[in-house]
Amino acid sequence: MGGNLREQRISFYLKGLFMTTIYVRRLTALLLMATLFDSARAQDDLLKLYNDSGEARRPVAATFKSDHIVNAESNETIHQHDLAVNISHLFDDIAGSHGGIKSFFGLDNSTDIKIGIDYGFTDRLMAGISRSKGAAEVRNGNVYFNSLTQLWEGKLKYRLLQQTADNHSPVAITLFANAMLSTRSALEDPSSDIHFQNLSDRWGFMAQIILARKFSRNISLAILPTYLRRNFVAFMDVNNLFALGMGGRVKLTSRTAILFDYFLPFRSKNSKQYFRQQGVDFYPALSIGWEVETGGHTFHVSFSNSTAILENQAIPYTTRSWWKGEFRLGFNIERTFTLRSKNP
């Protein structure tokens, strides 16, 4: 019995990896096809971003204006010796069973709050730490699957490759990884996903490869193959999860833009069926935002069906549906400070 279960788990992980690889190949192919189709006009447009210095292989700047798209990470890193302070907030559902006038369309409650600090060690490497409330959710009073709160995050981000104006490097590649720790009290209930026995049970991790391209002055797209790990989960939840994300930016004016990001998690069929029997359905996380840049500030106003801000929770545990009005208002404020000039 144990051997069969082990074989099923191995088979599921291999299938998840195989499906993720297929999706990445397809989306990468579409990205490259679009690049070739629009190469002449896009190249001319991008070359206008630079002066006539003759350096055609200079990197393309500002694929995105922030190190985040909406909830998803972008390919951007902050500059060396810069310190970025982020404050994010998500309210409750605008409509649906949790929203409406009784909760003033979700404004009476908050599902998650996050405060973070990032520092640029170089123009390519940044690190950060954050603290978030966590979007704990319990359904039917006894179904535990996403009870993590009081979340600390440590993260690293490295810009491996930059897109160049002459298409010598047609895409930008950035690597991202984080570790998440819950400091909330453990429950005695053995069916709970926070029935922690060891310190290691409190940890979760995420790794991403961020592929991005700026097609013109106004349009940027990103693809985000993602792996998530949570050391301790509830019955029939999954410890390891593959997901595929996509994000984009459409510039409206010199200081404003429309943003979106979307994550499709590849949860096992058995896990989805079990939770559906308990009255819980999982949905892809979709966020749509409006960006305003004002000097050293970047301000985002967004709508999302995810109740969580951290991707470690938002990707595997989004249980609200856009079609049912279960989306919420959110905002993010980022302020960047330059602590020391690179060339004093």
- The region, left, alpha or beta by phi > 0 then psi within -120 to 50, assigned to residue 323 is alpha
Place of tokens 């999982």: 282
pLDDT at 113: 95
Cα 142 to its chain centre, rounded Å, is: 29
Q: Could you read off the pLDDT of 108-158 as tens digits, one per residue?
A: 888 999 999 999 999 999 999 999 999 887 555 555 678 889 999 999 999
Listing DSSP states for 202-237 in one string gives GEEEEEEEEEEEE-SSSEEEEEEEEEEEESS--TT-
Give strand pairing partners of 293: 298
> Which of 44-48, 119-123, 333-337 is least confident?
44-48
φ/ψ (deg, to 5) at 161: -145, 140
Place of tokens 């200079």: 58
| Nearest-5° Cα angle at 68, 115 to 246 | 135
Mean model confidence pLDDT for the chain? 84
Confidence of residue 329 (pLDDT cuts 50, 70, 90): very high
Confidence of residue 36 (pLDDT cuts 50, 70, 90): very low
**Please, is 151 exposed, middle or buried when counting C-beta atoms within 10 Å of its C-beta (0-12, 13-18, 19+)?**
buried
Confidence of residue 241 (pLDDT cuts 50, 70, 90): very high
pLDDT at 235: 87
The H-assigned helical ranges of the chain are 2-37, 39-47, 269-277, 311-314
pLDDT at 81: 94
Q: Could you read off the pLDDT of 271-324 as tens digits, one per residue?
A: 999 999 988 899 999 999 999 988 778 999 999 999 999 999 999 999 999 998
* Nearby residues of 142 by Cβ (< 8 Å), 6 or more positions away: 191
* Nearby residues of 159 by Cβ (< 8 Å), 6 or more positions away: 75, 76, 77, 123, 124, 125, 172, 173, 174
In this structure, what token pair is assigned to residue 91?
């309210």
| Distance (Å, whole) CA 48 – CA 42 | 10
DSSP tag of 60: P
Query: How many residues belong to the chain?
Result: 344
The number of C-alpha atoms within 13 Å of 146 and in the hemisphere containing its C-beta is: 23
| Distance (Å, whole) CA 258 – CA 83 | 25
> How much is the average pLDDT of 32-49?
47
**Please, is 276 exposed, middle or buried when counting C-beta atoms within 10 Å of its C-beta (0-12, 13-18, 19+)?**
exposed
Pairing of β 285-294 and β 297-304: antiparallel
pLDDT at 34: 45
In this structure, what token pair is assigned to residue 262?
């979307």
Q: Give residue limits of the domains in the chain.
A: 2-338
How many other CB atoms sit within 10 Å of the CB of residue 47? Answer: 14
User: Does residue 130 contact residue 117 with C-beta atoms inside 8 Å?
Assistant: yes
Q: Which CATH number fits domain 2-338: 3.50.50.60, 2.40.160.40, 3.20.190.10, 3.40.50.300?
A: 2.40.160.40
Q: Is the pLDDT of residue 173 over 50?
A: yes
